[in-house]
Structure 1
Amino acid sequence: MIFNLRNKTLFIFLVLATLLYSSCKSKKILTDASKSRSVTSGSLTERYASLLDVREKELGNEKLYRFIDSWMGVPHRSGGMDKKGVDCSGFTTILEKEIFNRAVPRTAKSMAESVKRKYEDDLEEGDLVFFDFQGQKFSHVGVYLHNNKFVHASTSKGVIISDLKDPWYYKYFSRAGSIKD
């Protein structure tokens, strides 16, 4: 079959769309809005301490929370790596590089395969948490904060903070760990 210019363009578009989609395979997932609280008023440390149910001095890395604050609400976009839109693994890649100076693989699945596994009770700020959505192993990733809270790029709400123990997320929770140095 001889490809004309239109067919070649369509073929290239489909290949690129497939590659972008495969970087984070989570589908549009809707959760009850009451299960993720927004950060709205007060100083940065007051807002996040309240959201994460910790004392301000327990927050740890203020740079991390400034980063999160600047990304909060950025919409989901498959393959995205900027504030116009970001997917879960893109957000995690950027956060880990800018805040912890750690290079991580680009896909959630590759990240999951490269972490030093931890029990959820041993998680620390900056560790990664993984989920299996739609039967896809390690199809979603987030960054652990405190008290079972994690930040991630939700397909339905963009960058948000959610609770790992929320029954909806917890039933898909599959692995957690720290980046191997």
Structure 2
Amino acid sequence: MNISSLLSGKNRQGMLLLLSAVLFFSACSSRRNTAKPSTTAAAKTADAMAHLKNRHLYRFITDWTGVQYRLGGLDKKGIDCSGFALLLQKDIYGNTLPRRSRDQAAAVREKNMSQLNEGDLVFFSFGGGAVDHVGVYLNNNYFVHASTTRGVVVDDLSLPAYQRVIVKAGSVKN
């Protein structure tokens, strides 16, 4: 049997029917399950970013996300936590802050954690003594900071690792 005899008459109709069935069933099998995906940490982080009121803040964070940590750094080659907070406050809110996180802590009006607003500062003491880390509150218990191991990231403030070391939070005094 050659190709021309396969494509003639009834054989041709059968081939078209077979090809149509294959295409139909392969298209159906490629459909994905449309069930709602489980909420992940990444989805919650994306949700916090999506609910920022200040679009300039959103752009600032996305521009800096992933920049590596560098003690004393103030540019995209590397930045530390207090440098990141300083630049964010200056560029987004027009606030002037001292360079060191412990001095920045003295420059805020303290608030209860439940009263924090977008742009407020959150201070930590990982060393057990004075303030040694700062981040900027976003919403829904999320904050952005320059992590020593992961660079500039958005993190969940309700994680036990942060809850154990929070020492102060508040808004910049004007």
Please report the TM-score for the alignment, with normalisation by the length of structure 1. Answer: 0.70
**Structure 2: 5+ residue stretches without partners:** 1-39
Q: Which has the higher contact order (CA 8 A, sep 6+)?
A: 1
Q: Residue 37 and residue 158 in structure 1: after superposition, are their counterparts in 2 closer, same or farther (change >3 A)?
A: farther
Out of 62, 68, 84, which is 1:75 matched to? 68
Letter in 2 for 1:165: S
| Partner SS, residue 132 of structure 2 | strand
CA distance in 1, matches of 2:66, 2:75: 12
Letter in 1 for 2:113: E
Residues 1:88 and 2:81 are matched in the alignment: yes
**For the structure 1 residues 78 and 158, does the alpha-carbon distance in structure 2 shift closer, same or farther, using more than 3 Å as the test?**
same
Which AA in structure 1 matches 2:84?
F
Superposition pairs of residues 139-150 of structure 1, within 5 angstroms: 139-150=132-143
- Shift >3 Å, 4+ stretches: 36-39
**Residue in structure 1 matched with residue 161 of structure 2 by the alignment:** 168
Distance in 1, Cα, partners of 2:163 & 2:128: 15
Calculate the aligned-residue CA RMSD, in Å. Answer: 1.9
SS of match in other structure, 2:135 = strand
**Structure label with greater radius of gyration:** 2
Cα distance in 2 for residues equivalent to 1:65 and 1:37: 18
Q: Deviations over 1:23-72 (max 9, x none)?
A: xxxxxxxxxxxxx9558xxxxxxx96x431x8x5x421000010000000
Identity within the alignment, %: 47
How many residues are treated as equivalent by the alignment? 135
- How do 1:102-121 residues align onto structure 2 when only pairs under 5 Å count? 102-121=95-114
Are positions 1:126 and 2:122 aligned together? no
Q: Does 1:51 align with 2:44?
A: no
- Whether the 8 Å contact between 1:37 and 1:161 is mirrored in structure 2 is no
Counterpart Cα distance in 1 of 2:42 and 2:66: 9
